[in-house]
């Protein structure tokens, strides 16, 4: 019986080449899906590793750090910090995949170990720019580019959505976190000498934007356009409040010329019931006409800020540049005229807001600033503009043998006397100074609570005393600035030597002046001198050196010290040396040693003396 | 093909016929019960018109309705004002759901008196009344510590503070709850929590120890306590002292004492009952370890003390107590 | 005899052949490959309410969105094994420089072949058996949705792993089969065991869900199968010794043959269930049976198909694997969940069900879930809805060139056992779906489609008393169109509506699925959702769409509950 049952149960011969029976069952058996999923066409991982550590000795840390949350640090003169409080992590991975040749997703991912000894408990992971999706679709006439998702660095026009790229007049001694490795260790300095610029990463001249950007290119009639909708850093946040920014551009190209209509707008709410809506609008027309003898560039438009408490209406925004080539004027010359009404506000553009304080205030209770640029009347580098200001700029550059010189001149004034404060910077030890107050961007720090930290820098605020008793200024302020950037390349002992000088001579006063005022007529005079020398010591080593001297003098129409009864009289020195060492292909070691000495002879507590050592390893892959 | 179809049909039929379903006519409560009109199918009646609870008699109630109802039977003493409530939810009231053994829900206790039993139906305005006469009141069973019917036992020890308006006496007035008398405890003592106290030794009842079960779980302590409104909150502390080492007396160092402190937060008479094994030893109101065998031995109980306490800064305190007794196998039902 | 017996013990590699097609993709190509998807959504919504009291407590506008990438690492360490681990990186809209970032493990499984015979998959698995044992029915989507709504539905289905009516489970599945050359053709077996919940070492046992299907194909004409689906607690895994079990046994059969030139198929399923707690005396033991035979006719070219079926599912039939619902009607909407000055809970509308994946379950539920009588009162728990008997008719017709496609169904059912009364409810449901491919008809090389669908339901009961009467009707419609106005750029429009009025007495059930009370359900409701959008297709795997959708909720009985939501969305979606 058993045999028969077995025979019935297992009768048959098994064949090896059977068809797939599962689909023949009454209901399909087994797990799903039945088809293998498609795979990604291409997937890449790149990124960098960056280790940075900083040891600082500050003789009088007690005075500089004695307030707020820094009192613990004030107790000891020496500080060791591993990492970068400019929020650039140690290991950054950029991962991306292509679904089709024109459709791609990417994300970054970072890891950070603060090395405090706490181990895994304090390690950090996260995203920096986030998940981004891009795609391109070609039509018969034109193409469509889409960028969506996480933070994308983008620019429309200077007045709508842009950052100021400047005139490359800056010190290159201290490295930026995003500075790339160059093929040759000295390329950084050589490029600066040759091109007047460093290799910059994608964010240069652009603003961070999260949302969706749709570009239409090569459309009929030489049209192209952009629509963007989403959030900027200044109206971000994950609350369901409909804080949004939106804008766009429609551009027509005619030969070498173009004209575009642009807009950028913001609508935010400072309460959950959406009754307190604030924001701004900016509409401009941008054009460029290129002729043989000159190029005319301009952006003209109007903007406004609105809120339930403040609605001053529209104001004008004008920026005109005439660029003369060498063939026309002997040396290249850029002449600029600008005028930006105090009623215009757009913190996502190239001009700073100095007239509408409400527009720079965070709606949260954080003591950090919302906008990381100085408010009030700022003494700005040549090329940087603010609202409530009009002026002219001249920029030129020329070569005398191996000496390449770039000179900038600005003569500007306020349109309305709104602010009784001035702000200025301390470029000589700027980066080191910003590291005194780590994490966040606190305002009103320092022994006299007049220093404000911005991204990798600090600015100081001085109050004017020649206004009404209520603090309303009686006079408009006039600004002058002359900047000189001289670069020289030579050879010493068969090796390249680069010498850079950067000088800035600026003043702000009650009356118009043709050039910088060097007397006490000026509310404030600032003189900055920075001299750098880079010696390509060996194929893989550069010896870098820096000397900086700054002098800031205020007059008696500014706040005086309670004890000395005198206005600001500041002098600061910075001496630094260091090495750039190529460890291997794509890997560099950067050492900087800086000695700092700064003193305000009137405000006795405003002083610091010490040194800072920074070691950075950066490896790209 | 025909063979296949036939086989399948046969198999299905066999299977179907072998399956049986729950043959209830519908799921859930009847909609008629939930939504139908109310009607009396059988009038509200009592099984007897007079009852002698002292002989352990009971009276049962009956009625029948057209739908499921929430019903309440309220029995009220015409003279005493005592009330008894019996509640239920059904279509039929019968002796299994509505029988009265003479106990009371709202004090005072029933007396020998005519009572009116009223049937109330939730959502129905009509009420239905019948009369039942009590010819003998319910006699609670248990060991009576004090019901004050015969006055103060001379073997009880009392201590009364010399405060203002002190009244620690037996009264007989409109506040009677059970029998004819109750014990009043009132006074103002502004220097001490203790107003007055009474000790009830086992010897007062001619016993060396209280005649209670050895099983603490079975023994309940009961009393009726009156809360007087708008006075300083009274607290009654009961102390139960055992003679664990059987030396004839309570030794604090070697015998157990259990306590219960009641805060009189109610108004009117209330029957308070608690299981002997639920008692803890308290020191200044805080549970603490005992010093005896640390087991509840009601059969070793030699002394029950009752202390009337009140906050000395609170002014006059007043309460009343009656029917202090032990029961077994359940709390006292009056 | 001995030699043939030896040969008999050699098992088929038929299943292996199928799996090889999948597994060995990994062998000839790279060992690690990537799969997954990415999506970016930005949405803006505003709500208008019909409230006589000025609202000063709730916001009327909301934004939201995210950008996410699901990155799956598909690893083939050898030709017989495949591993998938997928992570999700989700970046909330508005979160800058790492704010609002979440990392999750989306799925993890391994699959392969044991001894070249048995296929297995372990980890996150998608399972399906039969409509009465384990089946993810979609009975809350009564009508097919136009493309403009289907975009959002597809995202919901992706998020919840809804595919091919399977349920996502965590466990093990095994398949193997045998082939024969006499008397019977094939025997295929599947067995699975998944874990529903873990013990808390106190009063919650470890609960497993397991089952098996043994499918015997006697010939190309006849197949029968036995199916088992069992939900059960594992005794001893918690202190509480009361264990629950819900066992479903079914038989399925299929017989094919020809009647003239037509293909005829007699198919069906019948079985029983037992719902039981081992110790709890207050819990009932529910046993019941069901049967569902169908007869289908279709021509060789499959141009049309007609199906006649009989359904008889007992009132005590319980099958959690088949009766679990997708939508949780007690869940909150994901925006404007409170509205009006009184901060009342906003009732879900048709638009919420379309696009909110948080309303959807991702696994089977051992308890009976609530249903919306307006959306589906006839078969709210799918084909396995208990307490139903009657006939139904289904049909399909496509024109020869597939320009026109149509489907219809008609159910005429009634209860088997009354609810609170011996009078029985009767149910009627008629559905019609039409689609026209104008592009094909006009020989365009661009997409041009229109679609329309409707579903009418009626529930009636007449009893001895007026309070027993039930009369509830609902009507769902949908229509839409897609036109490719430029190459790869489509204009999509759609409209869907749900109207219902009448009354019903909805059973309230306790935790043991027993009816304990009835809730009066009165409704006179009109919900509409209209949408329009533009879609750019970046190949077959990616698209960008901008959508506008308006949802309207009109309650004629409680007009103060009315509201309208305008919803803008930009969706950029990729799968790979």
Please tell me the predicted confidence (pLDDT) of residue C3. Answer: 44
**Per the structure block, which two tokens stand in for C516?**
């304990």
Long-range contacts at C195-198 (CB < 8 A, ≥ 24 apart): C195/C170, C195/C171, C196/C231, C196/C363, C196/C364, C196/C366
Query: Which of A162-176, A285-299, B157-171 is the least confident region?
Result: A162-176
For residues A197-218, give the mean pLDDT.
80
Query: Which chain C residues in 317-356 lie under 8 Å from chain A, judged by CB atoms?
Result: 335
Q: For residue C17, how far is the Cα from the chain centroid?
A: 30
Q: Does C255 touch chain A (CB under 8 A)?
A: no
DSSP character string of C160-187: TT--TT-EEEEEEEEEEEEE-SSS--EE
- Number of separate helices (H) and strands (E) present in chain B: 2, 22
Would you mind telling me the total number of residues written for chain A in this entry? 621
Query: How many other C-beta atoms are found inside a 10 Å radius of the C-beta of residue B122?
Result: 11
CB C488 within 8 A of CB B56: no
Distance (Å) of CA C526 to CA A482, C60, C498? 72, 22, 6
Q: Which residues of C touch A177 (CB under 8 A)?
A: none
Q: For residue A615, how far is the Cα from the chain centroid?
A: 23
Please tell me the predicted confidence (pLDDT) of residue B13. Answer: 56
Please tell me the predicted confidence (pLDDT) of residue A198. Answer: 54
Q: Does C94 touch chain A (CB under 8 A)?
A: yes
Residue matched to tokens 């799996």: C19
- Number of separate helices (H) and strands (E) present in chain C: 7, 25
The Cα B272–Cα A207 span in angstroms is: 77
For the whole model, what pTM was predicted? 0.79
Q: Do C270 and B21 touch (CB under 8 A)?
A: no
Instruction: Summarize pLDDT for C343-387 with one digit per residue, the tens.
Output: 888 999 888 988 899 999 888 998 999 999 999 999 999 999 999
3-class DSSP assignment, residue B2: helix
Q: Do C255 and B16 touch (CB under 8 A)?
A: no
* CA nearest to A614, candidates A158, A198, A175, A22: A175
Closest-CA residue of chain B to C266: B5
**Per the structure block, which two tokens stand in for B95?**
């002796």
Evaluate the omega torsion of the peptide bond into residue B108 and state whether it is cis, within 30 degrees of 0: yes
Nearest to C418 among B4, B19, B25 (CB): B25
The Cα C136–Cα C325 span in angstroms is: 7
Let me know if chains B and A touch, i.e. at least 3 Cβ pairs under 8 angstroms.
no
CB A594 within 8 A of CB A611: yes
Q: Is the pLDDT of residue B52 over 60?
A: yes
Please tell me the predicted confidence (pLDDT) of residue A167. Answer: 75
Q: Enumerate neighbours of A (3 or more CB pairs within 8 A).
A: C
Evaluate the omega torsion of the peptide bond into residue C574 and state whether it is cis, within 30 degrees of 0: no
The Cα C425–Cα C463 span in angstroms is: 9
For residues C477-488, give the mean pLDDT.
93
Quote the minimal CA–CA distance from B247 to chain C in Å.
46
Q: What share of chain B is helix, strand, coil (3-state, %, to 5)?
A: 10, 45, 45
**Per the structure block, which two tokens stand in for C256?**
């094919």
C4, C89, C131: best to mutate for the A interface, most A CBs within 10 A: C89
Query: How many other C-beta atoms are found inside a 10 Å radius of the C-beta of residue C343?
Result: 12
Q: What is the dihedral of CA C146, C148, C151, C153, to 10 degrees?
A: -50
Please tell me the predicted confidence (pLDDT) of residue C226. Answer: 97
Backbone angles phi, psi at A269, to 5 degrees: -130, 140
* CA nearest to A528, candidates A561, A573, A465, A477: A573
Please tell me the predicted confidence (pLDDT) of residue C1. Answer: 44
Nearest to A27 among C74, C182, C252 (CB): C252
Q: Which residues of C touch A109 (CB under 8 A)?
A: 89
**Per the structure block, which two tokens stand in for A205?**
């001249």
**Per the structure block, which two tokens stand in for B293?**
């065998």
The Cα C378–Cα C412 span in angstroms is: 9
Q: Which residues of B touch C251 (CB under 8 A)?
A: 11, 15
Q: Do A20 and C18 touch (CB under 8 A)?
A: yes
Mean residue pLDDT across chain A: 86
* CATH for the stretch B143-328: 2.60.120.260
Query: How many other C-beta atoms are found inside a 10 Å radius of the C-beta of residue A536?
Result: 22
Mean residue pLDDT across chain B: 90
Residues on B contacting C at a C-beta cutoff of 8 Å: 1, 4-5, 8, 11-12, 15-16, 19, 21-22, 24-32, 34-36
The distance in angstroms from the start CA to the end CA of chain A is 73
Residue matched to tokens 């002083």: A607
Query: How many other C-beta atoms are found inside a 10 Å radius of the C-beta of residue C378?
Result: 24
Q: What is the DSSP letter of B106?
A: B
The Cα A282–Cα A492 span in angstroms is: 53
The Cα B138–Cα B142 span in angstroms is: 13
CB C450 within 8 A of CB C436: yes
The Cα C309–Cα C392 span in angstroms is: 5
For A343-433, list the strands marked E by DSSP: 351-352, 377-378, 385-386, 389-400, 403-414, 421-425
Residue C25 banded pLDDT, cuts 50, 70, 90 = very low
- Name the CATH topology of C139-153+285-575: Porin (2.40.160)
CB-count exposure of residue B162 (10 Å: 0-12, 13-18, 19+)? exposed
Backbone angles phi, psi at A188, to 5 degrees: -55, -45
Instruction: Summarize pLDDT for C499-521 with one digit per residue, the tens.
Output: 999 999 999 999 999 999 999 99
Q: Is the pLDDT of residue A6 over 50?
A: no
Nearest to B36 among C288, C465, C518 (CB): C465
The Cα A44–Cα C106 span in angstroms is: 21
The Cα B76–Cα B127 span in angstroms is: 14
- Name the CATH topology of B31-136: Immunoglobulin-like (2.60.40)
**Per the structure block, which two tokens stand in for A485?**
């950037």
The distance in angstroms from the start CA to the end CA of chain B is 82
For chain C, the domains span 139-153+285-575
Please tell me the predicted confidence (pLDDT) of residue A72. Answer: 67
Q: Is the pLDDT of residue A57 over 70?
A: yes
Please tell me the predicted confidence (pLDDT) of residue A199. Answer: 52
Could you give the ipTM of this predicted complex? 0.84
Nearest to C518 among B8, B15, B31 (CB): B31
Quote the minimal CA–CA distance from B118 to chain C in Å.
29
Residue B3 banded pLDDT, cuts 50, 70, 90 = low
Please tell me the predicted confidence (pLDDT) of residue C18. Answer: 38
CATH 2.60.40.1930 domain locations along chain B: 31-136
Query: Which chain C residues in 432-471 lie under 8 Å from chain A, judged by CB atoms?
Result: none
Q: For residue A543, how far is the Cα from the chain centroid?
A: 27
Closest-CA residue of chain A to C74: A39
Instruction: Summarize pLDDT for C233-249 with one digit per residue, the tens.
Output: 998 888 888 899 999 99
Taking phi first (over 0 means left), then psi (-120 to 50 degrees means alpha), and beta for anything else, what does residue A142 get? left
Q: Is the pLDDT of residue C431 over 90?
A: yes
CATH 2.60.120.260 domain locations along chain B: 143-328
Query: How many other C-beta atoms are found inside a 10 Å radius of the C-beta of residue A505?
Result: 19
Instruction: Summarize pLDDT for A281-324 with one digit per residue, the tens.
Output: 999 999 999 999 999 999 999 999 998 887 789 999 999 999 99
Q: Do C128 and A27 touch (CB under 8 A)?
A: yes
Taking phi first (over 0 means left), then psi (-120 to 50 degrees means alpha), and beta for anything else, what does residue B221 get? beta
Sign of CA dihedral A168, A173, A175, A180: positive
For residues A488-500, give the mean pLDDT.
94
C268, C276, C467, C519: best to mutate for the B interface, most B CBs within 10 A: C467
Residue A14 banded pLDDT, cuts 50, 70, 90 = very low
3-class DSSP assignment, residue B205: helix
Element holding C438 (H helix, E strand) = helix C438-441
Distance (Å) of CA B99 to CA A560, B47, B87, B94, B111? 98, 9, 11, 8, 18
Distance (Å) of CA C563 to CA A98, B6, C517, C522? 43, 59, 31, 19
* CA nearest to A383, candidates A267, A272, A504, A291: A504
Please tell me the predicted confidence (pLDDT) of residue A593. Answer: 97
Residue matched to tokens 């086992």: B202
Give Dmax over CA atoms of chain C in angstroms: 91
The Cα B279–Cα B217 span in angstroms is: 11
Closest-CA residue of chain C to B33: C420
Element holding C22 (H helix, E strand) = helix C14-23
Please tell me the predicted confidence (pLDDT) of residue A396. Answer: 92
CB-count exposure of residue B43 (10 Å: 0-12, 13-18, 19+)? exposed
Residue matched to tokens 């800035």: A504
Alpha helices in chain B (DSSP H): 2-18, 31-35
Query: Which of A129-143, B214-228, C484-498 is the least confident region?
Result: A129-143
């Amino acid at each position: 019986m058993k045999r028969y049952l077995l025979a019935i149960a297992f009768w048959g011969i098994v064949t090896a080449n059977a068809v797939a029976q599962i689909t023949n069952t009454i209901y399909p058996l087994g797990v799903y899906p039945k088809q293998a999923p498609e795979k990604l066409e291409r997937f890449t991982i790149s990124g960098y590793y960056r280790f940075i550590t900083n040891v600082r000795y500050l003789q009088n840390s007690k005075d500089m750090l004695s307030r707020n949350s820094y009192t613990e640090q004030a107790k000891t003169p020496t500080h060791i910090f591993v990492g970068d409080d400019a929020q650039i992590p140690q290991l950054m991975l950029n991962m991306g995949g292509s679904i089709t040749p024109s459709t791609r997703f990417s994300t970054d991912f970072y890891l950070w170990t603060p090395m405090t000894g706490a181990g895994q408990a304090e390690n950090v992971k996260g995203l920096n720019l986030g998940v981004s999706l891009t795609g391109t679709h070609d039509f018969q006439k034109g193409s469509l580019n889409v960028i969506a998702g996480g933070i994308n660095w983008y620019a429309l026009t200077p007045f709508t959505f842009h950052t100021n790229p400047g005139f490359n007049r800056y010190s290159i001694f201290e490295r930026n976190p995003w500075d790339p490795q160059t093929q040759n260790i000295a390329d950084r300095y050589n490029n600066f000498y040759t091109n007047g610029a460093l290799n910059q990463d994608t964010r240069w001249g652009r603003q961070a934007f999260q949302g969706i950007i749709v570009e239409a290119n090569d459309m009929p009639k030489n049209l192209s356009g952009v629509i963007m909708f989403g959030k900027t850093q200044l109206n971000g946040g994950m609350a369901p409040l409909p804080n949004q920014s939106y804008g766009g551009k429609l551009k027509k190209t005619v030969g070498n010329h173009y004209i575009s209509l642009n807009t950028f707008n913001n609508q935010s709410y400072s309460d959950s019931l959406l009754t307190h809506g604030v924001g701004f609008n900016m509409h401009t027309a941008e054009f460029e006409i290129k002729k043989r003898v000159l190029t005319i560039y301009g952006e003209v438009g109007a903007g406004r800020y609105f809120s339930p408490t403040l609605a001053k209406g529209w104001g004008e925004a004008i920026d005109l540049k005439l660029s003369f080539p060498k063939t026309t004027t002997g040396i290249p010359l850029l002449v600029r005229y600008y005028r930006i009404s105090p009623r215009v506000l757009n913190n996502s553009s190239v001009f700073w807001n100095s007239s509408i304080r409400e527009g720079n205030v965070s709606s949260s209770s954080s003591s950090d600033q919302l906008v990381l640029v100085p408010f009030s009347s700022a003494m700005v580098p040549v090329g940087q503009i603010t609202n409530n200001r009009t002026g002219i700029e001249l920029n030129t550059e020329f070569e005398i043998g191996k000496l390449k010189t770039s000179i900038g001149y600005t003569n500007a004034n306020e349109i309305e006397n709104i602010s009784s404060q001035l702000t200025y910077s301390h470029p000589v030890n700027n980066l080191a100074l910003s590291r005194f107050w780590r994490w966040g961007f606190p305002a009103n720090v320092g022994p006299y609570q007049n220093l404000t930290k911005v991204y990798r820098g600090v600015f100081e605020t001085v109050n004017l005393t020649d206004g009404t008793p209520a603090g309303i200024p009686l006079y408009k302020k006039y600004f002058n600035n002359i900047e000189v950037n001289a670069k020289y390349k030579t050879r010493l002992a068969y090796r390249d030597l680069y010498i850079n000088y950067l000088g800035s001579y600026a003043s702000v006063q009650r009356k118009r002046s043709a050039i910088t005022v060097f007397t006490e007529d000026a509310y404030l005079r600032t003189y900055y001198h920075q001299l750098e020398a880079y010696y390509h010591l060996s194929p893989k080593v550069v010896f870098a050196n820096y000397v900086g001297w700054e002098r800031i003098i205020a007059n008696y129409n500014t706040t005086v010290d309670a004890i000395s009864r005198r206005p600001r009289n500041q002098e600061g020195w910075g001496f630094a040396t260091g090495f750039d060492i190529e460890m291997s292909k794509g890997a560099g070691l950067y050492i900087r040693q800086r000695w700092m000495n700064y003193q305000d002879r009137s405000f006795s507590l405003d002083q610091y003396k010490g040194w800072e050592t920074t070691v950075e390893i950066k490896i790209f892959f | 093909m025909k063979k296949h179809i036939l086989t399948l049909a046969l198999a299905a039929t066999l299977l179907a016929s072998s399956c049986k379903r729950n043959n209830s006519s519908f799921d859930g409560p009847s909609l008629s019960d939930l939504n139908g009109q109310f009607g009396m199918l059988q009038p509200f009646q009592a099984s007897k018109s007079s009852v002698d609870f002292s002989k352990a008699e009971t009276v049962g109630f009956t009625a029948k309705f057209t739908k499921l109802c929430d019903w309440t039977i309220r029995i009220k003493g015409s003279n005493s004002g005592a009330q008894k409530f019996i509640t239920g939810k059904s279509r039929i009231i019968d002796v299994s759901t509505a029988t009265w053994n003479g106990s009371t829900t709202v004090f005072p206790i029933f007396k020998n008196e005519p009572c009116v039993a009223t049937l109330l139906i939730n959502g129905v305005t009509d009420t239905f009344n019948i009369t039942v006469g009590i010819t003998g009141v319910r006699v609670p069973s248990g060991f009576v510590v004090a019901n004050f019917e015969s006055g103060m036992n001379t073997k009880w020890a009392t201590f009364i503070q010399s405060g203002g308006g002190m009244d620690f006496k037996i009264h007989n007035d409109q506040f009677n709850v059970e029998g004819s008398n109750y014990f009043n405890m009132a006074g103002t003592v502004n220097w001490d929590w203790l107003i007055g106290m009474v000790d009830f030794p086992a010897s007062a009842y001619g016993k060396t120890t209280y005649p209670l079960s050895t099983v603490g779980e079975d023994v309940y302590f009961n009393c009726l306590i009156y809360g007087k409104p708008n006075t300083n909150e009274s607290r009654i502390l009961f102390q139960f002292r055992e003679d664990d080492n059987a030396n004839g007396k309570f030794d604090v160092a070697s015998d157990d004492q259990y306590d219960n402190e009641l805060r009189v937060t109610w108004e009117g008479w209330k029957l308070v009952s608690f299981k002997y094994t639920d008692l803890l030893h308290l020191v200044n109101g805080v549970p603490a370890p005992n010093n005896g065998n640390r087991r509840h031995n009601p059969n070793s109980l030699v002394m029950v003390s009752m202390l009337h306490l009140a906050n000395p800064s609170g002014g006059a305190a007043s309460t009343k107590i009656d029917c202090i007794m032990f029961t077994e196998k359940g709390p006292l039902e009056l | 005899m001995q030699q043939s017996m030896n040969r008999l013990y050699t098992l088929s590699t038929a299943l292996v052949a199928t799996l090889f097609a999948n597994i060995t993709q990994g062998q000839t190509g790279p060992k690690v490959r990537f799969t997954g998807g990415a999506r970016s959504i930005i949405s803006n919504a505003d709500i208008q309410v019909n409230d006589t009291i000025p609202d000063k407590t709730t916001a009327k506008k909301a934004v939201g969105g995210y950008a996410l990438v699901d990155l799956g690492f598909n690893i083939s360490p050898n030709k017989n094994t495949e591993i998938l681990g997928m992570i999700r990186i989700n970046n909330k809209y508005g979160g800058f420089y790492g704010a609002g970032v979440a990392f999750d493990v989306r799925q993890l499984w391994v699959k392969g072949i044991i001894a070249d015979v048995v296929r297995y998959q372990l980890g996150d698995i998608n399972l399906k058996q039969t409509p009465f044992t384990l089946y993810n029915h979609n009975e809350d989507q009564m009508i097919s949705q136009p493309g403009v709504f289907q975009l959002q539905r597809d995202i919901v289905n992706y998020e919840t792993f809804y595919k091919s009516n399977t349920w996502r489970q965590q466990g093990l599945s095994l398949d193997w089969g045998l082939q024969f050359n006499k008397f019977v053709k094939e025997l295929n077996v599947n067995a699975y065991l998944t874990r529903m919940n873990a013990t808390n070492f106190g009063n919650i046992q470890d609960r497993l869900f397991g089952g098996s299907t043994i499918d015997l194909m006697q010939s190309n004409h006849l197949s029968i199968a036995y199916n088992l689906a069992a939900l059960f607690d594992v005794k001893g895994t918690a202190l509480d010794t009361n264990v629950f079990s819900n066992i479903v046994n079914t038989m399925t059969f299929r017989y094919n043959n020809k009647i003239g030139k037509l293909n005829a198929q007699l198919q069906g399923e019948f079985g029983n269930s037992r719902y039981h707690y081992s110790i709890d005396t207050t819990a009932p033991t529910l046993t019941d049976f069901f049967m569902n035979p169908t007869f289908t006719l279709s021509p060789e070219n499959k141009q049309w198909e007609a199906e006649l079926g009989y359904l008889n599912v007992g009132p005590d039939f319980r099958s959690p694997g088949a009766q679990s619902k997708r939508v949780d009607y007690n869940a909150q909407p994901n925006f404007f969940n409170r509205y009006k000055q009184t901060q009342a809970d906003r009732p879900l509308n048709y638009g919420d069900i379309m696009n909110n994946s948080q309303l959807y379950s991702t696994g089977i539920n051992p308890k009976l879930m609530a249903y919306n009588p307006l959306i589906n009162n006839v078969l709210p728990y799918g084909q396995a809805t208990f307490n139903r008997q009657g006939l139904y008719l289904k049909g399909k017709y496509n024109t020869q060139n597939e320009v026109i496609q149509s489907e219809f169904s008609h159910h005429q059912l009634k209860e088997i056992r009354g609810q609170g009364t011996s009078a029985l409810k009767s149910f009627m449901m008629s559905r019609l779906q039409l689609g026209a491919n104008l592009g094909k008809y006009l020989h365009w090389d661009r997409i041009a489609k229109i679609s329309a669908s409707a579903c009418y339901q009626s529930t009636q009961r007449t009893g001895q008393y007026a309070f027993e009467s039930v009369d509830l009707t609902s009507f769902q419609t949908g229509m839409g169109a897609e036109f490719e106005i430029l190459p790869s750029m489509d204009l999509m429009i759609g409209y869907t509506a749900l109207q219902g009025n009448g009354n019903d007495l909805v059973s309230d059930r306790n935790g043991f699925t027993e009816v304990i009370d009835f809730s009066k359900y009165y409704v006179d409701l009109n919900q509409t959702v209209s949408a329009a959008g533009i879609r750019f297709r970046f190949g077959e795997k990616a698209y960008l769409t901008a959508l506008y959708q308006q949802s309207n909720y009109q309650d004629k009985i409680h007009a103060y509950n009315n509201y309208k939501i305008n919803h803008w969305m930009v969706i950029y979606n990729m799968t790979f």
